[in-house]
Chain A
Amino acid sequence: MENKEAYPANDAAQDVKDSSRRNFIKQSTLLTAVALTPGTAIKAAADHIDEQIAAVFEKMPLKMQVNGKTQNLSVEPRATLLDILREQLDLTGTKKGCDHGQCGACTVHVDGHRINSCLTLGVMMNGRKITTIEGLANGNQLHPMQEAFIKHDGFQCGYCTPGQIMSAVACIREGHANSEHEIREYMSGNICRCGAYPNIVNAIQEVKDGGMAV
C-alpha cells in the first residue's frame, strides 16, 4: 500500500513527540484565571468579572441586544439561542426546522453576520447584537427583501421564509449576489421543501439590482 510502505506520513500518526518546548504561555496580570470553587464563583459573578461560572447556578445571566432592545435574561447553559428567542422572548418568527444546522430555518444575524441559531448556545451570545426577522422591518414599512419575497412569490408554505430572508439580506451585504449562480451557492444553507427557489432567486436579484440599501 503506497502510503504505508513508501511514505510513512499517512500513518506515522502515533509519533506525537514534542518538537518545541518553548514555553509561550504568558499570563497577563489584567486577566485573571478561572476559579472553580463555588465561593469564588459567586464572588466573581458579584464582581462582574468576565469569567462566569454556571457550576453552582442552574441558570446563568445573559445580557444581549435583540432587535435593538437590551434583554437581561436568566438562561440554562444548554438553551440554544433559537429556543431562547422563541420560548423566552416570544419571537416565534425564527423557525425550528431540523434543529441540527441542516436547513437554515433558524438563521438570524449576530453582530450583522448570519448564523444558525439552533447550534448556538445562548450563554455564548452575551454582549452580542441579534437581529431576527421581527427586527428587519422599519416600523410598518417592510424591508425591501420582505417586499420582494411577496412580489415574487418567494414562498409557498412560508416555513423556511424567515430564514431565507435573513440569509438573503446577508447574501447581498456580503457581496455574494452578483449572479444567479452565486446567489444559489450562497443561499444553499437554506432549504425550501416547497421548492420556491427560482422565485427566491428572482426576489434577491431584484433587490440587488435595485441597489437599495439592505
Chain B
Amino acid sequence: MKQFQYVRPATLKAALDVIGKPGVKVIAGGTNLIDLMKRGVTAPDKLVDINHLGLVDHQSLKDITETKTGLYLGSLALNSVVSENNMVAKRHPLLAMALKAGASPQLRNMATVGGNMMQRTRCGYFYDTTMPCNKRVPGTGCGAMEGINRMHAIFGASQQCIAVHPSDMCVALAALDATVHIAGKKGERKLPFTQFHRLPGEHPDLDNNLAKDELIVGIEIPDNNFAQNSYYLKIRDRQSYAFALVSVAAALEIENGIIKNARLAMGGVAHKPWRLFDAEKALTGKQPTEENFAQAATLAMQGAIGHGGNSFKLKLAPATITEALKHAAGLV
C-alpha cells in the first residue's frame, strides 16, 4: 500500500474543509477502501478518518434515532448495530434481513451505513489493475462487456460499463423510500435514496451523485405499514458470505386480502439498486397470489438484456421476484 497522510478531524466542519481536494479520501469502517488501496485500485495521498466528528445536529453520527416521521440512521452507525437494533427489527425487518445477508459478522462490525452506500463494484476487471475498466480508468474500455460477466448487469447498463452495485442494504433502503441526508460546505441537502446511485451512462467512473466535497450524514426511513409482509431474498453461489447474483427486497401492505401497497427492488442486476416501479403498480389492488406475483415478475423483466455469462439472470431474476413476494405474503 502506498504511504499516505492520515488526519482525524474532530468536527464536521473540519472534515468538510479537507475533503474534496484531489487525492483526499474519507475512511469510515475501511472494509472497502483498505481492500482497494491494498490492490492499488485507489491510492489516496490523504485519508480523512470521520469516526471522531462529534455531534452533528445534536447527535452522534453513530446514533439510530426516532424522528417525527420515521427512523434516522447516522452514517457511522455500524451495519451490525443497525441489523440488531430493536426499532429497525420492529419497523423495518426488511432492512435488518438485508443487512444480515451481507458480508460476515466481523465485517458488519466494521462497516458503516455511509460506507456501505459508497462501496465500489466487485467487478473483476475493476479490481484487476492490469485489465481495461472504464470505471477505474475512464477511456480504457470495458473488459466485462465481452469478457467474464457472470455477476454483471442486465438492466440500465451502457456501452461503457455493465458493472453492478454490490450492496444488500441499499436494495432494502431503495425499496423503503429512504432519504439521504448530505452535508456540504454550503449546508445540508437531501436526496431520495433511489436518486443517490446513478446509472453508468457516459460516466461509469461516477457511482453516485454525491459531490466530492460532500459527506453522507444519515438516512431517514419514513414510517410504513410493510413490517408484517416483507422479505429479502438473496441468491448467491454459496449460502452465506458471498455477493448476490440476484437479490430481491419485497414489501407488501395487505388489507382484507388485497395488496394496498407494494415495494420491490432488486440487487445484483444494475449499476444501482433497481426499483421495480411497474411491477409495484401492477400488484396494487390485486390479491396476493402466486399467479399475480409471477405476472408482476414478468413485467419487471421488460427491457432486461443478457450479455452471455450473466444471461442466466434473465430466468433467475423473475423467479427470485416471485419467490420473494411469496415469502413476503406468507405463502411459503
* Contact of B274 with A24 in the complex, beta carbons under 8 Å: no
- With an 8 A cutoff between CB atoms, is B300 at the interface? yes
**B238 nearest CB across to chain A (Å):** 8
Of B57, B105, B195, the residue contacting A9 (CB under 8 A) is B195
- With an 8 A cutoff between CB atoms, is B302 at the interface? yes
- Which B residues are CB-close (under 8 A) to A36? 7, 18
- Which A residues are CB-close (under 8 A) to B51? 124
- With an 8 A cutoff between CB atoms, is B211 at the interface? yes
Known interface pairs A21-B189, A32-B10, A189-B241. Does A16 touch B38 (Cβ–Cβ under 8 Å)?
A: no
Interface residues of B in 271-321 (CB under 8 A from A): 272, 274-278, 299-300, 302-303
* Contact of A9 with B106 in the complex, beta carbons under 8 Å: no
Known interface pairs A10-B194, A10-B199, A167-B106. Does A101 touch B303 (Cβ–Cβ under 8 Å)?
A: no
**A183 nearest CB across to chain B (Å):** 11
- 1/0 per residue A50-83: CB within 8 Å of B? 1111110000100000000000000011101000
Bound CA–CA A3/B14 (angstroms) = 40
* Contact of B299 with A54 in the complex, beta carbons under 8 Å: no
**A88 nearest CB across to chain B (Å):** 16
Bound CA–CA A22/B181 (angstroms) = 11
- With an 8 A cutoff between CB atoms, is A185 at the interface? yes
- With an 8 A cutoff between CB atoms, is B326 at the interface? no
- Which B residues are CB-close (under 8 A) to A60? 6
Bound CA–CA A113/B109 (angstroms) = 7
- With an 8 A cutoff between CB atoms, is B188 at the interface? yes
Bound CA–CA A15/B198 (angstroms) = 10
- With an 8 A cutoff between CB atoms, is A116 at the interface? yes
Of A7, A33, A100, A113, the residue contacting B35 (CB under 8 A) is A100
Bound CA–CA A3/B278 (angstroms) = 8
Grouping DSSP codes into helix (H, G, I), strand (E, B) and loop, the A interface class, with mixed when no group exceeds half, is loop
* Contact of A2 with B198 in the complex, beta carbons under 8 Å: no
* Contact of B277 with A34 in the complex, beta carbons under 8 Å: no
Q: Which of B26-34, B63-71, B142-150 contacts A (4 or more CB under 8 A)?
A: B26-34
- With an 8 A cutoff between CB atoms, is A212 at the interface? no
Closest partner residue, chain A, to B29 (CB atom) = A119
- Which A residues are CB-close (under 8 A) to B80? 113
* Contact of B14 with A51 in the complex, beta carbons under 8 Å: yes
**B59 nearest CB across to chain A (Å):** 11
Closest partner residue, chain B, to A79 (CB atom) = B1
**B209 nearest CB across to chain A (Å):** 4
- Which A residues are CB-close (under 8 A) to B49? 123-124
- With an 8 A cutoff between CB atoms, is A37 at the interface? no
Of B188, B274, B300, the residue contacting A23 (CB under 8 A) is B188
Residues of A within 8 A of B (CB): 1-4, 6-7, 9-16, 18-28, 31-34, 36, 50-55, 60, 76-78, 80, 99-101, 104, 107, 113-116, 119-121, 123-124, 167, 170-171, 174, 176, 184-186, 188-191
Residues of B within 8 A of A (CB): 1-18, 27, 30-31, 34-35, 37-39, 46-47, 49, 51-52, 54-57, 80, 103-107, 109-110, 155-156, 183, 186-192, 194-199, 208-209, 211, 239-241, 270, 272, 274-278, 299-300, 302-303
Cross-chain pairs A/B with CB under 8 angstroms, 26 sampled = A1-B303, A2-B299, A3-B278, A6-B278, A9-B277, A10-B199, A13-B199, A24-B57, A24-B187, A25-B12, A33-B11, A50-B10, A54-B4, A77-B47, A80-B34, A100-B38, A104-B106, A114-B106, A116-B31, A116-B106, A119-B31, A124-B27, A124-B51, A188-B105, A189-B104, A191-B241
List 17 additional contacts besides A2-B302, A54-B5; criterion CB under 8 Å: A7-B277, A7-B278, A10-B156, A11-B199, A13-B196, A19-B191, A21-B186, A21-B187, A21-B188, A23-B186, A27-B11, A53-B7, A54-B6, A113-B109, A119-B107, A188-B105, A189-B104
Sorted nearest first, the 5 A-B pairs with minimum C-beta distance are A189-B104, A1-B303, A13-B198, A188-B240, A7-B277
